[in-house]
Amino acid sequence: MLVNKGLFRIGFPIPANAEFTLVAVDDPYHYASAKDVSCFRRPLPATNLRFLGTVMWDGRELINQSSIQGALESQIKDAVLGHMQATAAPSVQKVQQILNFETSLYTAQIKDNAVGEIDTPQIGAGPVPLVSLPFAYGINDAFGFVHNRQPFNPDVFSFYEQWLPHPTPPGARPPAPISPSLQAARLSVARGEQIFTTRQFAITGVAGLNDVLGKPKIMGTCSSCHSTPGVGSNALPLLLNTGISDGSRRTVDLPLYTLRNNKTGKIVQTTDPGAAMTTGKWADIGKFKVPSLRGLETQSPYMHNGFSGEILDVTSFYNNRFNIGLSAQDQADLKAFLVTL
């Protein structure tokens, strides 16, 4: 799993206070049990941490913390005591030094083979602008979880609007001609950015969103969840279940867990219970964080379980999941845009 999908096994016991019981395990490695549920997950980027609403796929470091800084500090201490096997926790000063270092690391594409340099002053899509990019907890919240903030702006990314066709103003010099292949590539990227920020669809059946807000249908765009301006993360500890770990999507290399609700007797099957392994809550089964999108092409395979190394598989998943109606060209344009981030 590590070699083929870049997945690490993380073992959890079923929480003592869990609202569910593990009633069956189908583990190809013949290891998992209620005492050690195997969850296979991708490592997350160690850069652009300043723009996160939570850390870890399941948000577990934020469960007992009041801020993202507290979650990162908790993660640092856990790593020193766990991974480094230190005999004592790091000092407050050492934790602060590590925190200062890791929140000062930024990653973004600076060049795309199809469209050329993209960290120019005219485009500004590289990593340098991230250093001074404004950010606050809950910034650009699309769903009303945070009050007294500015209204949601779906234009989370606006790097490539200039590449769309525009009439030349009277008296202005027309732009310098470029090759047809370069023009086509840039148009595709610009169209993909526009699809990401403007193509509306009905968000339905997402635990952590529709159920929490009491709205069976929410109209949104890709940028509604990937809402942090210029980054595409989410500035809240928003944990969602879009169905990627549903038993129906299981691949033969992943375990399958059958869980029963202790109160209602309802049964679900999942390849990873997600946040429920920390909270013990039935409603948290299959919930994971909204990942950042900068440097996306370097992060394959995608999703928490590395379900595919192809961005088109990701766009196809969401297209089918939410019945967006993306054409093959739309998905190709989305990919062209996403790989520039």
What confidence tens digit (pLDDT) does each residue in 143-189 have?
999 876 789 999 999 999 999 987 777 777 777 788 999 999 999 99
> Do residues 108 and 341 make contact, with C-beta atoms less than 8 angstroms apart?
yes
Tell me the angle at which helices 311-321 and 328-338 cross, rounded to the nearest 10 degrees.
Answer: 130
pLDDT digit string (tens) for the chain, length 341 residues: 999 899 999 999 999 999 999 999 999 999 999 999 999 999 999 999 999 999 999 998 876 666 888 889 999 999 999 999 999 999 999 999 999 999 999 999 999 999 999 999 999 999 999 999 999 989 999 999 987 678 999 999 999 999 998 777 777 777 778 899 999 999 999 999 999 999 999 999 999 999 999 999 999 999 999 999 999 999 999 999 999 999 999 999 999 999 999 999 999 999 999 999 999 999 999 999 999 999 999 999 999 999 999 999 999 999 999 999 999 999 999 999 999 99
120: left (phi over 0), alpha (psi -120 to 50) or beta: beta
> Do residues 239 and 59 make contact, with C-beta atoms less than 8 angstroms apart?
yes
Single-letter code of the amino acid located at 292: S
Tell me how far CA of residue 212 lies from CA of 90, 174, 218, 277, 282, in angstroms. 38, 51, 12, 20, 14
Q: What letters, b where the CB count within 10 A reaches 16 and e where it falls short, cover 21-38? A: ebeebeeeeeebeeeebb
Sign of CA dihedral 12, 18, 19, 20: positive
Omega before residue 301 within 30° of 0, cis? yes
Could you read off the pLDDT of 46-55 as tens digits, one per residue? 999 999 999 9
pTM: predicted TM-score of the whole model, two decimal places: 0.94
Distance, C-alpha 86 to centroid of its chain? 31
